[in-house]
Structure 1
Amino acid sequence: MSSTDFTVAGQSVLVTGGRGGIGSAIANAFVSAGARVVAVDVSPVPESPRVGIEDVVADVREPSSILKAASKFGSLDTIVQCAGRAAPGEEFDPAVFREIVDIHLVGSFNVAVTLKPLMAESGGSIINVGSMYSYFGSPLVPGYGAAKAGIVQLTKTLALAWAGDGIRVNAVAPGWIRTELTRLVEEDPTLNAAITSRLPSGNFSEPEDIAGTVLYLASGASRLVTGVTIPVDGGYSAS
């Protein structure tokens, strides 16, 4: 791949959490760019098929279901890990804390390790999804924040461990994106004002705003980029 090759056309891409806000936007962006996409999620498959996307029900915590989803491809070039949820006000319960960490952090590790042989064959790219809570405190969602902080370290570790296999591992850290996960925050006048006052645009961003950076990390243009987490936060962390 050329260092000026930004194309992902022809790639086989697996997106976890591929029916959520950010995951769905990323899956659609890959399809628009000419890639083949399997979107895995624990939510039901849409009644109407999505153009260019094969939707599969799978749990990132279950290796067998992930292997079955990946078997839709003969090879695999890119994994994007978007699976996750948050439970504000509930995550101080140890059982809920553990569930959130299992989905985000353990799930991301599980998918990567399970599909590593396929990725080594292609010299592929793994792209994890962190958060601004990878860096800032998260008083309402301790499990989510701890898991997202772990994603940054997991990204560095797997990048070093698997460089010899030709696998690149990076992450993106979205800022305040307009999704179901952030809906209650955006609708709360006090929280909304506190957040938007730190955003240069003054507004929440859209899921599609994350996709471009993800496609770059999947392309040959980023072939020297590995082990990093790129903030895609609209300048939130700069203020």
Structure 2
Amino acid sequence: MPYPGTLDVDLTGATAVVTGSTRGIGRALTELLLASGARVIGLQRGTDSLGPGHTCLSVDLADPAARADAVDAVLADHEIDILVNNAGINLRHTVEDFPRDEFSQVMSINLDAVVHLTQAFGRPMLERGHGRIVNIASMLSFFGGVKASAYAASKGAVAQFTKSVANEWAGRGVAVNAVAPGYIATELNVALREDPERNGEIIGRIPAGRWGSAEDIAGTVLFLCSGGADYVHGTVLPVDGGYLAR
């Protein structure tokens, strides 16, 4: 589908790092950043490129040493203007039976990597006095969910981390915000959308009357990366079709 609305954003000359840049929300965002003139470096498993201006480094985001090596490789050749911490996983178990290693894996990718990359790419931004960082939070930054305790814990922490960093960095030229996607139609939730009863319950709760698209999230992130968001700091912006207002 085409991107909803039109954002006249020119990011020519800017370089962005996007984690998980070739699937779902990350892919839609990467395509939009490229269309806006930015160069995009993806950090993820695999090195598939989406075309000119897009390169990928294969990295296990759960591995601190691998993350550090990737950061060093990127900063050796590039000045990073934009960081989007998009990659995330959700492993589902009841609280009492949640394997500790799987809980730690979710926290490593969803939170530890966000903190690590924000520090590593944020320092040069602070030195230059300009930069944009956007973290992908979640509806579970606001409520707890079911069988998703690790995911909820990580995304709640991402929201609070975003606010805390903004408190320190807003006056130093680096805007740090988060976007909290609602129910977004990606390959990760095909089964849910194909369940007539559950799908009906979800759409019945959404005032907009539909699932969101990856492009809905991408357009919002692009706005936060643009000059139009110069006075936006520390927000956790729901893009949920009105779900939280219900």
CA contact (8 A) 1:25 1:207 kept: yes
Alignment partners' CA distance in 2, 1:111 and 1:39 = 13
The correspondence of residues 79-118 of structure 1 with structure 2, limited to 5 A, is: 79-89=83-93, 92-118=98-124
Moved more, 22-31 or 138-147: 138-147
Give the Å deviation of 1:136: 1.6
- Residue in 1 that maps onto 2:241: 234
Give the Å deviation of 1:210: 0.7
Name the SS of the counterpart of 1:13 in structure 2.
Answer: strand
Give the Å deviation of 1:26: 0.4
State the percentage of identical aligned residues: 36
CA contact (8 A) 1:59 1:65 kept: no
Alignment partners' CA distance in 2, 1:178 and 1:71 = 37
Instruction: Confirm whether residue 10 of structure 1 aligns to residue 13 of structure 2.
Output: yes
Give the Å deviation of 1:164: 4.1
Q: What TM-score, normalized by structure 2, do the two folds share?
A: 0.87
Instruction: Confirm whether residue 77 of structure 1 aligns to residue 47 of structure 2.
Output: no
RMSD of the TM alignment (CA)?
1.9
Q: What TM-score, normalized by structure 1, do the two folds share?
A: 0.90
Instruction: Confirm whether residue 183 of structure 1 aligns to residue 190 of structure 2.
Output: yes
Q: 1:63 aligns with which of 59, 68, 72?
A: 68
- Deviations along 1:147-195, one digit per CA (max 9) or x if unpaired, are 1111110001111122343211000001111112222322223321221
Alignment partners' CA distance in 2, 1:139 and 1:237 = 17
Change (3 A) 1:214 1:108: same
User: Residue 21 of structure 2 aligns to which amino acid in structure 1?
Assistant: G
Aligned residues: 232
User: Residue 72 of structure 2 aligns to which amino acid in structure 1?
Assistant: L
- Residue in 2 that maps onto 1:194: 201
CA contact (8 A) 2:137 2:158 kept: yes
Alignment partners' CA distance in 2, 1:9 and 1:129 = 23
The correspondence of residues 28-67 of structure 1 with structure 2, limited to 5 A, is: 28-42=31-45, 44-46=46-48, 50-60=51-61, 61=64, 62-67=67-72
Change (3 A) 1:77 1:93: same
Alignment partners' CA distance in 2, 1:109 and 1:102 = 10
Q: Any stretches of 5+ residues in structure 2 without a counterpart?
A: 1-7
CA contact (8 A) 1:40 1:69 kept: no
User: Residue 219 of structure 1 aligns to which amino acid in structure 2?
Assistant: S
Q: Any stretches of 5+ residues in structure 1 without a counterpart?
A: none
User: Residue 54 of structure 2 aligns to which amino acid in structure 1?
Assistant: I
Q: 1:222 aligns with which of 223, 226, 229?
A: 229
